[in-house]
A and B are shown apart, each in its own frame.
Chain A
């Protein structure tokens, strides 16, 4: 059951805590002790009420479910529901049903941390996953280490959460944080490879005014330098998140007359930007626009779609690889929701299966056992085959293609599409002398 964490649900969960705590008493570790200390009173009260049978694996997730990027959370919930019902219909995880509590991070680091603490300390979850924003992920990663609870990031892309602490001043990677989707470094490596093929010399950017916007621009410039792309970087604009009127920023970029622009705008911001860019004649004046988060919302959005002929990346392509796993997932999703699956749906869907595989292989839901299982794990899902690197980053491909409309699916797709292998060797070679970490 996917819930948004209502009071009724929480109460039921707390009642369930008692049963599960007594079951796992033999494996009480430091994490369980901290949980008990944090939620002691609650558990005591719940204990008086008497616990019922609660043979479930409980996972906690946090996504953006409200505000400018709520589409992402909605897509993730769809993926979660699909994985959950598939698993529960087929014997569950080691015979136990999986239950997933989804909470709204509101795109805020403080809220996400509160939700995660509550999921661990009150809902007694066995594992965590989610996160849509790099800024939030950066703040959450150290908390996860403190809670000693595995966290599978399925969307937030900053390479610094899979770059071991100490490698760079912003690095916050640790043993408990994993990512099953591609990182900003992998994504922008593909952007630089795409740029190398284009007839464009002068480049500009317009991105959100926080870590994600700046990191995209920094990595793009360093990858271009490392790959020998002939490029000058002539203009940059970083409007605040959830800006309702981008026209002054659009106008400033147009005045600089670049040949091409890379933009990591996302969520409703991207939709707003595209409409206002069209009005300003952007797509007539700029030869190429690269949307690094383009396919994240466009597939699900009925607002301004990405213009055909421009370039976009995705972290999962519903048509490539042409495998049974991918085709089955895509068709089932389409049948249920009448739209192609976005990468956020696929990333969340896969996270549930990753937990299933780890728990069944470890024969336990103990946090450190799951961390051991995830470390270096080889896995396969709709996205294809991949392995977790030494820094807990999935070695998935960087996928960039040309936006084109597909009549059969009534949706934008990437066609033609390029998959660039983006493992540790490729990224570290392409970053050359850069100070930026590969995050893989």
Chain B
């Protein structure tokens, strides 16, 4: 590790790249945070869902219709269905166990391996790339450097998801059920809320968000079976920094980590991937509950 430059040159493109990396992280971290905030399940398989979203998008664009947006929607929904089935069939029976947390962790970790190997079986272990949608397949030059226009689209969509999700949670009937169940599951159940169905619904939504993250990111990165493993670590860092179960926290945490990933190489030539870990350690030491706390707060 050595200093690459004493006075790093931070350009507009570095900021846009950082925001796009943050947006990608937000989409996966917010689903992870939502599921944990409401169900109390730490879903290790969330990285696998993200990867699956990218692969389904890739398969759809390649084999069905060459329409990226349609493929992204299909990818997100397909992952949502996979998530809902897993919650219904495998995670639901574990809620009332004494060691439910540990069992859920082990089961979801099992799905990390199952998804990884399934993807490897179907698509092989090589890597693929997906072209950005034709409308945004051009470079933007700003301040002497350039970046793909599609990055701005991803940032915009992440903000739209944040706003949409916030409105959904705070302004809709289903949102109020989610908040109520998140605060007190037993009370919600006594008041007539169908908690198991609501849980499956939330798991579906969280999985859709992971799948959408993978789908929208597929033109920005190479798609390989290792993708899920890489991103889940970053997503965990995001939710720890932002505060487990916090939507706003996930957004702020994701953007912070995205900027660290983008600007890190300006300061050190190798090992910049360790910077987010350092940030997480600092947050855990001085603000263990994260920068924000509690879903919907």
Contacts and interface: CB of A to CB of B under 8 A. Distances in A.
A395 to B, nearest CB: 33
A268 B126 contact: yes
Interface in A256-303: 256, 268, 271-272, 275, 279-281, 303
A68 B261 CA distance: 22
Nearest to A214: B270
B127 A68 contact: yes
B6 to A, nearest CB: 12
Q: How large is the interface on A (under 10, 10 to 19, 20 to 34, 35 or more residues)?
A: 20 to 34
Interface in A67-92: 67-68, 70-71
A272 B21 contact: no
Nearest to B148: A279
B125 A249 contact: no
A132 B84 CA distance: 42
A28 interface: no
B269 interface: yes
A252 interface: yes
B170 interface: no
B11 interface: yes
Contact of A252 (B4, B126, B129, B148): B4
Contacts of B4: 235-237, 252, 256
A199 interface: no
B14 A248 contact: yes
Contact of B129 (A68, A251, A256, A275): A275
Nearest to B141: A281
B67 to A, nearest CB: 21
Given A236-B269, A238-B270, A244-B224, A251 B17 contact: yes
A251 B13 contact: yes
Contacts of B120: 66
B145 A280 contact: yes
Interface in B15-31: 17-18, 21
Contacts of A251: 11, 13-14, 17, 145, 147, 262, 265
Contacts of B223: 244
A247 B129 CA distance: 15
B125 A67 contact: yes
- Count chain A CB atoms within 10 A of each CB in B2, B224, B269 and give the residue with the most: B269
B2 A236 contact: yes
B226 A245 contact: no
A68 B21 CA distance: 22
B189 interface: no
Interface string B245-271: 000000000000000011111100111
A242 B222 CA distance: 9
B139 interface: yes
Contacts of A268: 126-127, 222, 224
B157 to A, nearest CB: 17
A242 B224 CA distance: 9
A266 B230 CA distance: 19
A272 B222 contact: yes
A211 interface: no
A240 interface: yes
A280 B125 contact: no
- Count chain A CB atoms within 10 A of each CB in B127, B129, B145, B263 and give the residue with the most: B127
- Count chain A CB atoms within 10 A of each CB in B141, B146, B223, B271 and give the residue with the most: B146
Nearest to A275: B129
B82 to A, nearest CB: 21
Interface in B197-248: 220-224, 226-227, 230
B62 interface: no
A254 interface: yes
B135 interface: no
B265 A249 contact: yes
A248 B145 contact: no
B276 to A, nearest CB: 12
A304 B145 CA distance: 21
B85 interface: no
B64 interface: no
Interface string A49-74: 00000000000000000111011000
- Count chain A CB atoms within 10 A of each CB in B126, B141, B220, B271 and give the residue with the most: B126
Contacts of B220: 245, 247
B141 A237 contact: no
A433 interface: no
A425 interface: no
A249 to B, nearest CB: 5
Given A209-B270, A209-B271, A256-B9, A242 B226 contact: yes
B73 to A, nearest CB: 23
B129 A303 contact: yes
B266 A255 contact: yes
Contacts of B13: 251, 254, 280
Given A248-B264, A251-B17, A237 B270 contact: yes
A68 B145 contact: no
Given A244-B221, A251-B13, 6 more contacts: A236-B269, A237-B269, A239-B265, A244-B222, A247-B220, A255-B11
Closest 8 CB pairs of A and B: A238-B270, A244-B221, A272-B222, A281-B146, A268-B127, A252-B265, A66-B125, A255-B9
8 contacts: A67-B125, A209-B270, A237-B269, A245-B222, A279-B139, A280-B13, A281-B139, A281-B141
